[in-house]
Amino acid sequence: MSVVDTLREIRERVESELGSIDTSAALDALRVKVLGKKGELTALLKGMGQLAPEDRPKVGAQINEVRAWLTEKMDEAQERIHNAEQEAAMKAETIDVTEPRALPTVGSAHPITLVMNELIECFSGMGFDVMEGPEVELDHYNFELMNLPKNHPARDAQDTFYMDDNIVLRTHTSPMQARAMLTRPLPIRIICPGRVYRADEVDATHSPVFHQMEGLVIDEHVKMSDLRGTLEAFAKKLYGEGTTTRFRPSFFPFTEPSAEVDMTCVACHGKGCSICKGTGWIEVLGSGMVHPHVLEMCGIDSTKYAGFAFGIGLERIAMQRYGIRDMRLLYEGDARLFSQLR
Amino acid sequence: MKLAMNMLRQYVDIPVTPEEYSERMIMTGTAVEGIEDIAEGIEKVVVGRVLTCEDVEGTHLHQCTVDVGGEEPLHIVCGAPNVKAGALVPVALDGAKLPGGIKIKKGKLRGMVSEGMLCAATELKIPQELYPSVGDEGLLIFNEDYPVGSDIRPIVGIDDTAVDFEILANRPDCLCAMGIARETAAALNTEFKAPVITVKEAGGSFDDEVKVTVEAPDLCPRYAARVIKNVRIKESPLWLRKYLHGAGLRAINNIVDITNYVMIEYGHPMHAFDLSKVRGREIVVRRAHEGEMLTTLDGNEHALRTDDLVICDKERATGLAGVMGGEESEIVEGTTDVMFECASFDRTAIRLTSRAHGMRTEASGRFERGVACGTVMDALNRACQLVNELDAGDVVSGCFDFYPNPKPQKVITANVQRVQERAGVDIPAEDMVKIMRKLQFGCELEGDTLTVTVPSFREDMDGEADVCEECLRIYGYEHIGATNLRGETTQGGVSPMKALKDRIMRLLTGLGYLEIMNFSFTGVSEIKKLGLPEEDLRNQSMPIRNPLGEDTAVMRPTLVCDMMRTLAFNQNHSTETACLYEMAAVFDHHHPTEEGLPTETQTLCLGAYGPNVDFFTVRGALEAILRMCGITCEVEAGGDCYYHPGRKAKLVRGRDVFAVLGEVHPAVREKFDMPKRAVVAELNLQLLLTYAKPMGEMKPLPRFPAMQRDLALVMDEAVTVGPLMADMRKAAGKLLESIEMVDVYRAAQIGEGKKSVAFSLTFRAPDRTLTDEEVTKAMDKVLKTCSDKYSANIR
């Protein structure tokens, strides 16, 4: 058989074998057998000495051409086999992705903390600074500086826990107004979140411990409309763009004029439902212009400065937001309930 | 406070529906709790005359024909025993409505056509004090003659709407029809018509009838009285009865009804004395004597305080002033001579008396909130005018009026611009004047200044801010626009403590912890469960003087009690795993602040249990928090007695104890009814905040390779790994980058009471590749220390 014939034979044989090879091992064996140091093509090259010298370059070129062609085919086969093997391996590794597994446990802050933080974020964006103070408070700050002298009948409305004649559990976050006015430079723009206490028996809507957030602004030329602007911005942030506020005249000893502030009912968007008792409004907070007596008692010139204050109850907002119907659940610490928070 | 709208209409026009009226009142500051139809929904019930009435055999029924003013009489079947021909009765026509939503329709009863229903008083819900003849059994039969076919509602006085007002604490003047009428006139911009009071005197002289002395003018700034003779006790006319009914009061007799009517009309509680029962015809208003006793109208006996104001006759105290009268001088059927008392008592004194004796009456409630001195005589004379009108007796000429220090007329000046600025609404000055006058203030405008003369009943008015509120609320709060705050920019932000709490919250919630909140007070018995040594100050926590109960009587000195209770609660509610935290203040009054308040220390409490939770889970959470704050603490065995003696530790740095943790002591668990093991920890947030360091720069990545050496040491069980590792670190010198404990191994071949602890030590120099010799030298020092100090040798 001539070299040329042998080459053709090798070429045809390898081509057909490659078609049926499906493992890397078989391919490697073929590669060694044909292209290896002791392979068939090497043998052919070695046998070139027996050829006529003038034929050698031509045959050599032919052998190299075949080698190049075979190498290319084997590389192609190798890629095909590698891919197929990878596919097969992955197929064997298939998992049931629908199989249920336990979630990593993620905790949560308390509903009150969640609401409080939301409110803080909203007001600190408007330049309000968070200030905190004692829960066991002097009567002086809790009542007297809030325009509620001893034996004032409005004191009765706030069933107060007394430690002694001069020390109470603060009945509202309002004493922080006095503390701020007495210690901070003007202008003042603060919020004071925290626990407050009233001697109410525990039931679905009352708790002797609850949370409020006081807001206070003192500056020159502060107006009642600034209060409304601030609270409207807060209402929109808390409950969405469509929310508005309604101011109703009210009475607090430490503000004049005073206003009870309602917000569009979240549940019915003002149409009237069971949550808002058909009015379309939900009572959210009490507010007003800081009483001139309060300013003067706290050493601020009431002819030059004015201010507004508001107090928001956090429990009501949290209960509405999370659909908690009984206030006691907030203070029971049942993990089955709180683990639903996200 | 309820009032009938028709009563109000005597003094002011109300040209709107009850719903519109209520809305307008709410928006001008007089809250309305509700409006109720006094007729309770009665419709199409008319007066009818029974023409014929025949018994239906074998039943209790009667077949009647009834004239209701139509062309033909109606055929009605009636079961009432007292129905008879000729009687004038209420007839519910076809389509009529009765209280409770009952509808009457034409129908058949036992085959007989019935075109309506004859009604009993109970079916119409008409109380006897409103319409006296309703008390009879069965059918209501009218005693008076009324045209057939007329609506029964005006006849029995229920054709009205009652409005239930909620009056703000600063507006006691609104606790009466006069006050509401003034507000109404301003709110609806209609006319207020005050009654014109004239009294027809019948001669005689007050002073001849009774002697009055006020010995305590500080508690009784005004006391007025008049006498009525030849009293003719009878029933009050329907108009008076129905207004009392609308206000939720019962009609009794003309004299008592007059005092009650004047109370709801003028807001002055009055008292009527039967003068024949007043010993010595003498009234003395004085403080009670030490040890004096008094039996009040309700039959209760009271030991009086010397600050109680009492009304006495010549012999003894007969009533608690402003709270409750005495039984003896009550108005009865045979009363002939009456003294009306109308006074103003000190509100604080009444409040304290009412509180001390546990008596809250309509009168005491009003006096506590404040009854103006200025209108005392008006109310008294109004009562006498009603005596004239009702022909209830003869008003004796003259009166008693003790008012030694008349309150001066208050005048407030207000600047129009300042009022406008405060309100944030440009209320025109002329409107301010109109509004103030509508509210019965005197008001003059001169330039920019309003001069406001305050009527005596408006004791709440003090200054310009009050004028602003009056103008703004009547002008309308809806005019308050929304403006943005101006002026100096302020930096908003949270306090350092709040920021720290927020970071801890994020870390702990990521670790799977849920936040809980507990009350800030607890019970002494709850703290006792911890079994603290007697001298521990937490046993003497700050008491509340008026607690709700024993379980909420003291401020909590620690958060662990509530945590243990909550852990137990969750264990007993089948929750397999729970990791909880609370951040709150603990209270210590043994170390008061400069202001004399208890020290409030913000504290973090952790509590956890579950199959994958142990001591180290909780210690890990604490260490993660400390690491977050850049604080390195040593772990020291030991801690509070309520922890397991072998499983408790303190995280300390120098003399500062940052945290104490441990598995709950089994005995304590039993006391808290906690079936499973749990780990609890407390961390002092105040201390953490004091020492927390900001993050600062990161270390550059190492440029030279590290060398690692592993080591297993056998040692006695008693050797604590923490201190051992600290010594290893010291011995290894500064080439040591880190040392970690890999595992602890216990087995027979290691020996009884021994353990094998494996460590991995990493050495590195910042400026070169270490040589084997350098590391071996360091390791030798480590081994020597371990051997010398701990008898811990290579395994």
A30 & A161 share domain: no
B471 & B506 share domain: no
- Per-residue pLDDT band at B575 (split at 50, 70, 90): very high
Burial class (CB in 10 A: 0-12, 13-18, 19+), B497: middle
The chain-wide mean pLDDT, for chain A, equals 90
Identify all chain A residues contacting B485, using CB atoms and an 8 Å cutoff: 126-127, 189, 217, 219, 222, 226, 229-230
B502 & B632 share domain: yes
Q: Which of A60, A92, A124 is the last residue of a domain?
A: A92
Closest C-alpha to B6, from B242, B263, B262: B242
B184 & B279 share domain: no
The chain-wide mean pLDDT, for chain B, equals 92
Closest C-alpha to B663, from B682, B635, B633, B643: B643
* Residue B144 pLDDT: 83
Q: Which of A39, A60, A92 is the last residue of a domain?
A: A92
- Per-residue pLDDT band at A15 (split at 50, 70, 90): confident
A27 & A70 share domain: yes
A140 & A179 share domain: yes
Q: Using CA atoms, how far apart are residues B533 and B531, in angstroms rounded to an integer?
A: 6
* Residue A138 pLDDT: 96
In a domain? residue B194: no
* Residue B134 pLDDT: 65
Read off the pLDDT of each residue in A170-191 and give the average, rounded to a whole number: 94
B568 & B669 share domain: yes
Tell me: ipTM over 0.90: no
State yes or no: pLDDT of B135 exceeds 70.
Answer: no
Q: Which of residues 235-274 of A touch B (CB under 8 A)?
A: 246-251, 253, 256-259
Backbone dihedral angles phi then psi of residue B126, each to the nearest 5 degrees: -100, 115
User: From the list A109, A125, A219, which residue is nearest B487 (CB)?
Assistant: A219
Identify all chain A residues contacting B517, using CB atoms and an 8 Å cutoff: 110, 112, 330-331, 333
Q: Is the dihedral of CA B590, B596, B598, B601 positive or negative?
A: negative
Q: What is the 3-state secondary structure (H, E, C) of chain A?
A: CCHHHHHHHHHHHHHHHHHHCCCHHHHHHHHHHHHCCCCHHHHHHHHHHHCCCCCHHHHHHHHHHHHHHHHHHHHHHHHHHHHHHHHHHHHHCCCCCCCCCCCCCCCECCHHHHHHHHHHHHHHCCCCEECCCCCEEEHHHHCHHHCCCCCCCHHHHCCCCECCCCEEECCCCCHHHHHHHHHCCCCEEEEEEEEEECCCCCCCCCCCEEEEEEEEEEEECCCHHHHHHHHHHHHHHHHCCCCCEEEEEEEECCEEEEEEEEEECCCCCCCCCCCCCCCCEEEEEEEEEECHHHHHHCCCCCCCEEEEEEEEEHHHHHHHHHCCCCHHHHHCCCHHHHCCCC
Structural domains in chain A (count): 2
A78 & A213 share domain: no
* Residue B414 pLDDT: 95
**pLDDT tens for residues B33-82?**
999 998 888 999 999 999 888 888 888 888 889 998 888 889 998 888 88
CB–CB contact B483 A112 (8 Å): no
Q: CATH code at A241?
A: 3.30.930.10
CB–CB contact A151 B464 (8 Å): no
A119 & A186 share domain: yes
**pLDDT tens for residues A276-332?**
888 888 888 999 999 999 999 999 999 999 999 999 999 999 998 898 989 999 999
* Residue A156 pLDDT: 65
Residue A157, chain B, CB below 8 Å: the answer is yes
A83 & A153 share domain: no
| Nearest CA distance, B548 vs chain A (angstrom) | 7
- Tell me which of A166-170, A292-296, B300-304, B674-678 is least confident: B300-304
Identify all chain B residues contacting A161, using CB atoms and an 8 Å cutoff: 544-547
Range of the domain at A68: 3-92
Q: Using CA atoms, how far apart are residues B505 and A112, in angstroms rounded to an integer?
A: 13
Residue A324, chain B, CB below 8 Å: the answer is no
B133 & B225 share domain: no
B125 & B213 share domain: no
Q: With contact defined as beta carbons under 8 Å apart, do A170 and A208 qualify?
A: no
- Per-residue pLDDT band at A154 (split at 50, 70, 90): low
* Residue B434 pLDDT: 95
A vs B, Cβ pairs < 8 A, gives 246
Q: CATH code at B183?
A: 3.30.56.10
A220 & A306 share domain: yes
B304 & B434 share domain: no
Q: Which contacts (CB < 8 Å, 24+ apart) does range A45-52 have?
A: A47/A3, A48/A3, A51/A3
B223 & B368 share domain: yes
B447 & B539 share domain: no
CB–CB contact A225 B502 (8 Å): no
Return the SS3 of B112.
Answer: strand
CB–CB contact A258 B469 (8 Å): yes
In a domain? residue A101: no
B554 & B663 share domain: yes
Burial call B10-36: b when 16+ CB within 10 Å, e when fewer: ebbbbeeebeebbebbbbbbbbbeebe
In a domain? residue A102: no
- Tell me which of A122-126, B7-11, B222-226, B426-430 is least confident: A122-126
In a domain? residue A99: no
- Tell me which of B483-487, B641-645, B750-754 is least confident: B483-487
Residue B612, chain A, CB below 8 Å: the answer is no
Identify all chain B residues contacting A167, using CB atoms and an 8 Å cutoff: 596-597
Q: With contact defined as beta carbons under 8 Å apart, do B564 and B607 qualify?
A: yes
In a domain? residue A216: yes
Range of the domain at B16: 2-38+161-188
| Nearest CA distance, B715 vs chain A (angstrom) | 38
A207 & A72 share domain: no
A10 & A83 share domain: yes
User: From the list B369, B370, B552, which residue is nearest A208 (CB)?
Assistant: B552
A32 & A174 share domain: no
B449 & B594 share domain: no
Q: What does DSSP say about strands B116-118 and B88-98: parallel, antiparallel, or unpaired?
A: antiparallel
Q: Using CA atoms, how far apart are residues B198 and B384, in angstroms rounded to an integer?
A: 9
- Per-residue pLDDT band at A40 (split at 50, 70, 90): confident
Q: In what order do the strands lie in the sheet with B707-716?
A: B736-745, B754-763, B707-716, B793-794
Q: Hey, which residues does A138 pair with through a beta bridge?
A: A167
**Sole residue written with tokens 């709107």:** B16
What are the helix and strand counts (H, E) for chain B? 22, 38
Most A CBs within 10 A among B469, B471, B587, hence the mutation to make, goes to B469
In a domain? residue A129: yes
**pLDDT tens for residues B519-548?**
999 999 999 999 999 999 999 999 999 999
In a domain? residue B483: no
Closest C-alpha to A213, from A195, A193, A230: A193
B280 & B382 share domain: yes
User: From the list B477, B484, B552, which residue is nearest A229 (CB)?
Assistant: B484
Query: Among all residues of chain A, which has the CA nearest to that of B504?
Result: A109
* Residue B53 pLDDT: 86
* Residue B768 pLDDT: 92
In a domain? residue A183: yes
- Tell me which of B206-215, B246-255, B289-298 is least confident: B289-298
> Which residues, in sequence order, are CB contacts of A200 under 8 Å at separation 6+?
A159, A206, A207, A208
Read off the pLDDT of each residue in B273-279 and give the average, rounded to a whole number: 91
CA distances from B105 to B44, B60, B97, B109 (A): 11, 21, 9, 12
Angle between helical axes of B254-266 and B238-246 (0-180°, round to 10) = 50
A65 & A124 share domain: no
User: From the list B27, B491, B514, which residue is nearest A107 (CB)?
Assistant: B514
User: From the list B465, B509, B580, which residue is nearest A333 (CB)?
Assistant: B580
Closest C-alpha to B31, from A264, A200, A258: A258
**pLDDT tens for residues B738-762?**
999 999 999 988 888 999 999 999 9
A14 & A58 share domain: yes
Burial call B719-741: b when 16+ CB within 10 Å, e when fewer: bebeebeeebeebbeebbbebee
Identify all chain B residues contacting A293, using CB atoms and an 8 Å cutoff: 462
**pLDDT tens for residues B577-594?**
999 999 999 999 999 999
CB–CB contact A132 B495 (8 Å): yes
Query: Among all residues of chain A, which has the CA nearest to that of B612?
Result: A105
In a domain? residue A325: yes
Chain centre to alpha carbon of residue A181: 35
Kindly report the number of other CB atoms within 10 A of residue B268's CB atom.
Answer: 29
Structure tokens at A226: 């600034």
Most A CBs within 10 A among B352, B494, B569, hence the mutation to make, goes to B494
Q: Which of B402, B420, B452 is the last residue of a domain?
A: B402
Q: Using CA atoms, how far apart are residues B179 and B109, in angstroms rounded to an integer?
A: 53
In a domain? residue A321: yes
pTM, rounded to two decimals: 0.85
**Sole residue written with tokens 């093991």:** B677
**pLDDT tens for residues A86-110?**
999 999 999 998 999 888 888 999 9
Q: Using CA atoms, how far apart are residues A303 and A220, in angstroms rounded to an integer?
A: 9
Residue A134, chain B, CB below 8 Å: the answer is yes
